[in-house]
């Protein structure tokens, strides 16, 4: 069964637009996480950025205490955040690139360029009982490096697929890259997640990609929840995901 991880970052984005620096405010990302769980989500994802632009430290600690499913902490490979993760003990960390000027994480992690540092972080996390994923483009060298480093998962960056979705030729080209990447990762013993830009419209096409374990979806779910509520938004997406038939 294909699993759904609900990214609640943009719930915190809405809160911080009005209540930044106040230590309280609405909407509550933890309440959103609990609603997503109640609707059937298999896990909750939150990105504790170095600049704390949306999710705050208090949010991740409250999530660790209150959610019953799998907590996926997205994080930069940065000493401060590594230290927090080792104390927090999420079920899994997904290491992502971070750039201060981006609105959200826009590119894949360069595992090849940071292999030694990432291997050290991977070992620290695994020694603490935390699984490790790398958020990467469907690139042969990056997937091979992820396996060498010893990650348990990769999360394939589907942003280009989503951006090119309405251009059939470009969409099919990126889809072929994702399919090849997933197959390569599977052969190398990596479990395969995917995320970025996924929504109800483009999911059926993505299902050509084999070996998917979990999709991490944030913006489209939060956007839909504004209109129909988190419960309905999650259930709609889970209904579409039930059609996934790859191993």
pLDDT at 164 over 60: yes
pLDDT per residue as tens digits for the range 66-114? 999 999 999 999 999 999 999 999 999 999 997 655 445 456 899 999 9
Residue 246: inside a domain: no
Helices (H), the chain: 9-19, 29-38, 57-66, 79-88, 115-127, 140-149, 159-163, 168-187, 203-206, 219-228, 230-241
Q: What is the CATH number of the domain that holds 99?
A: 3.20.20.70
- Catalytic residue, chosen from 155, 157, 196, 214, is 196
Strand-pairing partners, residue 155, are 135, 193
- Catalytic residue, chosen from 47, 131, 157, 214, is 47
- Catalytic residue, chosen from 16, 37, 74, 174, is 74
Residue 247: inside a domain: no
Residue 23: inside a domain: yes
Residue 129: inside a domain: yes
Is 10 catalytic? The answer is: no
**168 is in which domain, residue-wise?**
3-241
Residue 24 zone, left/alpha/beta (φ > 0; ψ -120 to 50; rest): beta
Residue 82: inside a domain: yes
Q: How many domains are there within the chain?
A: 1
Is 37 catalytic? The answer is: no
Is 47 catalytic? The answer is: yes
């Amino acid at each position: 069964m294909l699993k759904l991880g609900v990214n609640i970052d943009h719930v915190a984005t809405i809160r911080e637009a009005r209540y930044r620096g106040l230590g309280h405010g609405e909407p509550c990302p933890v309440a959103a996480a609990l609603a997503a769980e109640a609707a059937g989500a298999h896990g909750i994802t939150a990105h504790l950025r170095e600049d704390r632009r949306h999710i705050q430290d208090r949010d991740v600690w409250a999530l660790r205490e209150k959610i019953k499913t799998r907590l996926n902490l997205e994080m930069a490979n940065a000493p401060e955040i590594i230290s927090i993760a080792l104390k927090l003990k999420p079920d899994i960390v997904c290491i992502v690139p971070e750039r201060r000027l981006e609105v959200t994480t826009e590119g894949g992690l360069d595992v090849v360029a940071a292999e030694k540092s990432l291997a050290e972080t991977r070992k620290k996390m695994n020694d603490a009982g935390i699984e490790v994923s790398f958020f990467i483009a469907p690139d042969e060298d990056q997937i091979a490096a992820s396996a060498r480093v010893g990650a348990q998962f990769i999360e394939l960056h589907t942003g280009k697929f989503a951006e090119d979705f309405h251009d059939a030729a470009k969409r099919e080209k990126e889809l072929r890259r994702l399919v090849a990447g997933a197959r390569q990762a599977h052969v190398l013993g990596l479990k395969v997640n995917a995320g970025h830009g996924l929504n109800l419209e483009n999911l059926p096409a993505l299902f050509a990609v084999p070996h998917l374990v979990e999709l991490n979806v944030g913006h489209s779910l939060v956007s839909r929840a504004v209109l129909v509520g988190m419960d309905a938004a999650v259930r709609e997406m889970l209904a579409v995901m039930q059609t996934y038939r790859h191993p």
